[in-house]
Amino acid sequence: MAGHELIERHLRTLAERLPDPVVDELTDGLLASYDDQMERLGDPDAAAQAALADFGDADSVTAAFIRASSARQAAFTLLVAGPIVGLSWGATIVTANGWTSAIPLSSRLAVGVLLGSAVLLLVTAIRDQRHYRTVRLAALGGAGTVAVLDTVMLGTVVTLVPPPSLLLLVALTGSVARIMLAVRAIPAVIARQ
């Protein structure tokens, strides 16, 4: 790679944070900018500093890629849908006196752990501005956990056959919609490396 130590250091930082194809593309852009600055300024150090100033610092570039990523968008959508579906299930359980059902405590705890994990993973995917891979993995994990959680809720309804109600219908529709959202998001997040 023809370039300058400053440029190479900048690219190494980006390579630690972003996927390889993205880094290849950024490398081409930064080196093209450096070549342009060399033509204008003639001095390697001045050209490298000008190219880097024009390019933007590693934090800004990484944050811009993360903001535009399908992983972060999927995590945001799922997190926003969470309270709506959660409130529907909560209202359904309260009105049907669900806490008196025969569901064992261990199963209830497992659902709680799944819910907590999903929220933690999705919040991580939305809040992290520096680690693209972390955002992607957290979004994938969050989407998978949400799909499992909603499937468990649907399975519970099928098993226990509670009395039908409008609230139950809303909760079931919300869970089905969220499973579809999660399942549709996963291939897009995987495909964008």
Partner 1 sequence: MRAEALKGHLDGLLLATLEHGPQHGYAVKEALCDATGGRLDLPTGTVYPALHRLERAGLIKGSWSVVGGRRRRTYELTEQGRRSLAGARDHWQEFAAVMSAALGGGPWPATN
Task: Please state the closest distance from residue 24 (CB atom) to partner 1, in A.
Answer: 4
Helix axes 166-191, 70-95, angle to 10 degrees: 160
Distance CA(177)–CA(91), nearest Å, equals 18
DSSP 102: S
Q: Quote the CA–CA distance of 28 and 14 in Å, as a whole number.
A: 13
- Looking at the Cβ atoms of 55 and 89, the one nearer to partner 1 is 55
Query: Can you give the binding site for partner 1, defined by CB under 8 A?
Result: 1, 21-22, 24-33, 36, 54-56, 60-61, 64-65, 67-68, 70, 192
Cβ proximity to partner 1: between 65 and 89 the closer is 65
Q: Minimum Å distance from CB 2 to partner 1?
A: 8
Beta-carbon contacts of residue 157 (< 8 Å; ≥ 6 apart): 168, 172
Nearer of residues 117 and 129 to partner 1, judged by Cβ: 129
Residue (64 or 180) nearer to partner 1, CB: 64
For 26, residues 6+ apart whose C-beta sits below 8 A from its C-beta are 11, 14, 18, 61
Q: For residues 33 and 92, which CB has a smaller minimum distance to partner 1 in the complex?
A: 33
Closest distance of CB 54 from partner 1, Å: 6
DSSP-H helix ranges across the chain: 5-17, 20-41, 44-55, 58-67, 70-95, 105-127, 132-160, 166-191
**Rounded least distance, CB 1 to partner 1, Å:** 8
Q: How far is the CB of 25 from partner 1 (least distance, A)?
A: 5
| Cα distance between residue 75 and residue 124, in whole Å | 9
